[in-house]
Amino acid sequence: MKNITTYENQKVLVLGLAKSGFSAAKLLHHLGALVTVNDGKVFEENKDAQELLSEGIKVITGSHPLELLDEDFALIVKNPGIPYSHPFVQKALERNIPILTEVELAYEISEAPIIGITGTNGKTTTTTMIEHILNQSMTTGVARLAGNIGFPASTVAQEAGPNDELIMELSSFQLMGITTFHPEIAVITNIYEAHIDYHGSRKEYVKAKWHIQQNMSAADYLVVNWNQKELQTLAQQTKATVIPFSTESEVPGAYEKDGKLFFKDQFIMLAEELGVPGQHNIENALAAIAVASLKKVHPAIIKAALSQFTGVPHRTQYVGTVQDVRFFNDSKATNILATKMALGGFQHQNLILLAGGLDRGNTFDELIPALTDVKAILLFGQTKEKLADAAQKAGIPIIKFTENVETAVPLAFSISSPGDTILLSPANASWDQYPNFETRGDRFVQAMKQLK
């Protein structure tokens, strides 16, 4: 890592812990900052705060007292999950205290170049595809996953050398807190409406996503989804060199034509050779192909890597077969759009869908066209009645209620036939029954294994 002196003897507040805040606090302390940590969880239940205190870092827990801002902080490093509408953050903004997120620190210390990936859907899959391809081709150094994918960027950046690559998944929350952050390649997988409760409007959400390219120059590459008119328009407003990808037309980048995937007229592979199903994964693969090609990876290596790629945990992930019935874990589908995309990758006549979860007040009418011809649907959680209504309108012949994912799996298996697929793609957040989508997906996999 670069041993920068920017933060020496600077009073810095780390607001909110979790993985990124904990990592940022340790890094800033190492860089000589006078760090104070403020986290909402009470000290007795806060192992991260306890560890930081043992290392000599000032810790204030249990609430976010406004008087803390009287301590004349030079800047705040904010956990991405804390919205800018939070009273503490609002007061800090009124006092013109700079507010960063931890990915900015990662950029400042990183010796490795950064490939940044953002978008509404497909971020994690695309990020992992790129990492997988590059690690098949690199002879010195390694491609390292970082950011919103679960590995704090500031921790990974400390470990990375100049021959490595940081493959960084970036959320809109993280991108709002950057100033100098500068990837050499950036990817925008797509933009749909999301996180309006956090950003306040779609316009502000798109603005946050677009931050990824704000410091890029013509020497850098911006890989964008040319299927979306909005991104075509935005692409006219960047200094970066734009590399489009598309499943709908031939573009001067990565594209699909007649079931074949190309980069600038160089044939890469057949779409059917991808290791993960679904039209959305063809888009993800095209983005990854564009990045790998820009990094001079040989087409044969790209093809081999994407053929072997079987998905990331909880995202249309193949997890096993029991008596010729396949199981796919798409627990990360926490909204309707993600489930629609997953459903597009399967033959519906042999598909049993498991869905349901936290009720956020929406209906599921938007899902109805994607449910046509599905063999059966098993529903659980707060939204099961609403989903049953959508399933009835879609004409699904078998609609059953069950308690949770654990009970849904054996029930689905009992009505399945050889050649069927059982797909967990909930279209809802997990918090009515599970602490997170990962736990929900893990329970699905455990229940499948018990069938064996």
Check the annotation: does 62 bind a ligand: no
The two three-digit tokens of residue 348, written as one number = 């519906």
**146: β partners:** 168
Check the annotation: does 123 bind a ligand: yes
For 366, residues 6+ apart whose C-beta sits below 8 A from its C-beta are 336, 340
Residue labelled with tokens 């096993």: 320
Check the annotation: does 56 bind a ligand: no
- Dihedral sign for Cα atoms in the order 101, 104, 105, 107: positive
Check the annotation: does 122 bind a ligand: yes
Check the annotation: does 121 bind a ligand: yes
Calpha distance 133→326 (Å, rounded) = 26
Check the annotation: does 120 bind a ligand: yes
**How far is C-alpha 39 from the chain's CA centre?**
24
Calpha distance 360→335 (Å, rounded) = 10
Give the three-state DSSP class for 363.
Answer: coil
Count other Cβ atoms within 10 Å, centred on residue 260: 14
For 4, residues 6+ apart whose C-beta sits below 8 A from its C-beta are 31, 108, 109
Q: Are 131 and 143 in contact (CB under 8 A)?
A: yes
Residue type, 190: N
- Dihedral sign for Cα atoms in the order 130, 134, 136, 137: positive
Check the annotation: does 79 bind a ligand: no
Calpha distance 290→245 (Å, rounded) = 7
Binding residues: 119-125
Q: Which residues are annotated binding-site positions for ATP?
A: 119-125
